[in-house]
Structure 1
Amino acid sequence: MSQDSSIGHLEPPDECCIYKVPQDFRIRKNVYTPLLVSIGPLHFGKVRLAAMEKEKVTCYEKFCSRLRGNWLDKFMSFLQLHETRIRNTYRYVSGTCPLSSDVFQKMVLYDSIFILEFFFSCHEGEKSGIILNHSLVKESLIRRDLLLLENQVPYFILGKLYKLICDSGFYISYPSLLSLSCKFLGIYMPWDEHDEIKVAHYTDLLRSAVVGIFPRDLERSTGKFEAIPTATLLKKSGVRFEPGGCILDMKCTRRNFLVWPCVLTIPHVEVNMSSESIFGNIRALENCGYESMSNHFTNFLYFMRSLINSEEDLDLLMTEKVVSNKLGDEAEVVKLFERVADGIAEPEHDLWCGISDNLNAQVTFRDV
């Protein structure tokens, strides 16, 4: 295993990156709040999440029983050294974190160990592990909770802890932290595990995987974004839908073919029980922490909502392998896209303006 090359950047971020989701986003509260386990200070001490706090103690004891050396002293020294910067990664609705230093550091320690123990238990397939004593439903809920914007510890902390225990000689044959994280959080990793990936936390990692991180030659446009026709109307005008790549790989290519003269390459989207939470949290992250010109996932939600205005549109995109429906109820999927795109303004970035130019030009050309 390459311990350093695929852990990611271990320097603490210089500013806030973990946010309390704004109130105007919280139409459906459970989209943004943990259902089973609290990670970090924003939901710390919630009574309804208390059961998993006992499990964290069990995790800590199990974790420590397997390791030798002074890794714990080194990690606690690391937390003490960086406590102020760790605290500054969190943004509260008002005020600052009320936890004392001792409580805050212990929380970060237990939460970090819980996350790694979750990955290790999944990787080892232990019969006595914390997770495998639970139902698959609970395991799924933990995965969901670990991706919530309000429920994070900075990734550099996990990276430091993982490096310390690897340096102690344990878990030496394990995959990289980046690989473990992506595998057991259900994140498709569109990069090589040895690439240096700058990761703020797991919501940010999820966004990077979906949007893309490397420079690309994007669509260019001299005009403004124009409303996108629905999927069924686009097909009637000669547009073929082709799944592939991440959001920054999207493109619309017009060709001089009699059959399907226009091809829209668009990322595949699986809609399941966790999708509304995933979509909502990435959108909230972009709203809180990104400039409007970098809100590519938010713009993608707007784009998908434009394509899907009816069950007929959804059926078409399912047939074209652009959308996979794991919810079953097609009407509910249409409503889901309505909800997650509610209130999004028209995109401004050239990528989206260029695609809208080509799609609308094709519709005008065919005079549909």
Structure 2
Amino acid sequence: MEELYRRNIVIREAGETSSGQSPTPMIQKGIRRRAVRQYKSLPSTESMFKMVMEAGETAKTKPPNAIPKIQKIQKFAFLLRENKGFKKYYEPRAVSLGPIHYGKPKYQLAEKYKLILASEFIKESGKAIDELYKKVEENIKELREYYEEDAAKDYPDKGLAWILFLDGCAILQYIYCATNNTFENLNIKHDCAFLGQQDLFLLENQLPYRLLKWLMKLSVKKKELKESIDIFIKNVSDKKSEGHQAESKKGESLHSKETPHEQRLSMDGERKPTHLLHLLWTSLLDNPISKKVDSSSQENSKQDWQSYRNVQDLQHAGIWLKPCKTTFLNDISYTRSCFIGYLTIPKMKVDNSTGQKFFNLMAFEMCPDFINNYEITSYICFLNSLMNHADHVMELRKAGVLQNFLGSDQAVAKIFNELGTNLVPNYNIYSDVRADIDKHHQTLKSRMFRFYHDYFDSPWSIPAFFGILLELVLTGIQTWFSVKPTSRS
């Protein structure tokens, strides 16, 4: 095991130096020279015309919104990576998993812990190490298909098989230790374990879930490992108390939940997520459905989205916030009772992992081979529209919708404002809610609420109003008496 790491294989992105800096001018000149040579060796004009026309015909013959058989594990979209402020969200902090970040010097310390976890998994599996590794090596061609070509092309089959085997064993043992609180038995500190948990749900740090299923199936602790993944995902997605009870009533688990999306992902008659991040995505949503979005309805709903108010504007119009009984992020609704409207939003806990978790979930939705309705992206945009600064976060806390573990309300507002930048949501999601809110704003009761907040929001507003009214009355009386003698004469 240690011999592989002594080789210090460092796979860099195109043009990236070992320090992660931009390429030198010499490298840039080399790239430009290769581009010039490429254009000098272009085929004939007729061949290029044919290439263009064939591309259009190929696109037409492809079924609309066709879901690929295998969704690829890939790097972040270029538009996300070019924002330097987002690097903290997509780059691992402590540990690399899979081939994309493998071999980078700053993650070498974590390799020791991966070896410890993998060793413990092998001991508890009841199988020899060569028996477990053989399963991975024999199916490495299939596992390679789960990665975008650029992510794993530099690794030979044996090298990729070893990386996936070691990381797969380590992940399963990590999740088992996390749910059973047994890290101390392996002399792993809890702060190191916590950093590992955050890196586990990075888009570029994913392993094929099929690999994890194979390793679990070979272990004598298959049932315990499967249950630990269920518990672990529920903990990460905050599905406890009310949310957990709601799921129990449905009689569903994370692996048996029959959503249309998972049915279309089925392979070999068994529903399987692509990776752990996909499993987390599914657990956060109530019955996510993949379907074609009508562009005309998108444009109509976009107008409603642009007219949406923040949380204080809603309160001034007589719309109060109320926490939802479930924790599904897309379970947002509007109800009306007499003069008051209620916007029901699922509870949310905001801590140091929130920004990274939601950023990677949105990046997953942006993957070109993942057909979805952008539920997480739409949720972040909706929540971002409620809070522009710290005062709005405070109102969400007071309503019981949001729990702030960051200490500063301004820090929470900054995270969601940052996440909500340059996003393209599905405008059809929450369209009914936004339409009801807009109707509420047009009613007489809403105008009365706004009038009250505009003129009587302060505790001194009412005494001041009556004081001014009394002053006007007295002034009127004084004027009448001053004019009266004149009229007699």
TM-score normalised by length of structure 2: 0.64
Does the 8 Å contact 2:201/2:276 carry over to 1? yes
Q: Aligned in 2, Cα 1:103/1:354: closer, same or farther, shift over 3 Å?
A: same
Pair 1:188-2:239 in alignment: yes
Amino acid at match of 1:195: S
Pair 1:150-2:204 in alignment: yes
Post-superposition CA distance 1:181-231 (Å, at most 9, x none): 325646537543362464221111221122233669xxxx97423221010
Aligned to 1:224: 301
Aligned to 1:137: 191
The Cα RMSD (Å) is 2.9
Pair 1:46-2:125 in alignment: no
Amino acid at match of 2:338: F
Q: Tell me, what secondary structure is at the counterpart of 1:263?
A: strand
Does the 8 Å contact 2:143/2:208 carry over to 1? yes
Q: Aligned in 2, Cα 1:124/1:256: closer, same or farther, shift over 3 Å?
A: closer
Q: Name whichever of 175-184 and 31-40 sits farther off.
A: 175-184
Matches within 5 A, 1:284-323: 284-289=363-368, 294-323=373-402
Q: Aligned in 2, Cα 1:43/1:293: closer, same or farther, shift over 3 Å?
A: closer
Q: Name whichever of 148-157 and 62-71 sits farther off.
A: 62-71
Q: Aligned in 2, Cα 1:84/1:181: closer, same or farther, shift over 3 Å?
A: farther
Displacement after TM superposition at 1:127 (Å)? 6.3
Q: Tell me, what secondary structure is at the counterpart of 2:344?
A: strand
Give the distance between the partners of 1:129 and 1:270, measured in 2 at CA.
Answer: 30
Give the distance between the partners of 1:293 and 1:123, measured in 2 at CA.
Answer: 30
Selected match of 2:275 from 166, 178, 201? 201
Selected match of 1:343 from 412, 416, 422? 422
Aligned to 2:332: 250
Pair 1:352-2:434 in alignment: no
Give the distance between the partners of 2:312 and 2:119, measured in 1 at CA.
Answer: 57
Aligned to 1:37: 95
Displacement after TM superposition at 1:69 (Å)? 4.1
Aligned to 1:105: 161
Q: Aligned in 2, Cα 1:346/1:288: closer, same or farther, shift over 3 Å?
A: closer
Does the 8 Å contact 2:183/2:190 carry over to 1? no
Q: Aligned in 2, Cα 1:331/1:256: closer, same or farther, shift over 3 Å?
A: closer
User: Which structure is richer in relative contact order (CA contacts within 8 A, separation 6 or more)?
Assistant: 1
Give the distance between the partners of 1:16 and 1:215, measured in 2 at CA.
Answer: 17
Pair 1:79-2:157 in alignment: no
Count of residue pairs the alignment pairs up: 342
Q: Tell me, what secondary structure is at the counterpart of 2:233?
A: helix
Q: Name whichever of 112-121 and 178-187 sits farther off.
A: 178-187
Aligned to 1:115: 171
Displacement after TM superposition at 1:291 (Å)? 6.5
Q: Name whichever of 287-296 and 107-116 sits farther off.
A: 287-296
More helix by share: 2
Post-superposition CA distance 1:282-337 (Å, at most 9, x none): 11111115778610110111111111012221111111111111111111211111
The structure whose Rg is larger is 2
Give the distance between the partners of 1:113 and 1:95, measured in 2 at CA.
Answer: 21
Q: Tell me, what secondary structure is at the counterpart of 1:270?
A: strand
Aligned to 1:10: none
Q: Aligned in 2, Cα 1:86/1:187: closer, same or farther, shift over 3 Å?
A: farther
Post-superposition CA distance 1:252-293 (Å, at most 9, x none): 22x3513x2x22121222111111101110111111157786
Does the 8 Å contact 2:233/2:283 carry over to 1? no
Amino acid at match of 1:157: L
**Structure 1: stretches of 5+ with no match in the other structure:** 1-12
**Structure 2: stretches of 5+ with no match in the other structure:** 1-67, 258-270, 291-295, 451-489
Does the 8 Å contact 2:178/2:232 carry over to 1? no
Aligned to 2:41: none
Aligned to 1:239: 319
Give the distance between the partners of 1:173 and 1:86, measured in 2 at CA.
Answer: 24
Amino acid at match of 2:96: S
Give the distance between the partners of 1:86 and 1:188, measured in 2 at CA.
Answer: 31
Displacement after TM superposition at 1:155 (Å)? 1.3
Does the 8 Å contact 1:143/1:184 carry over to 2? no
Aligned to 2:287: 213
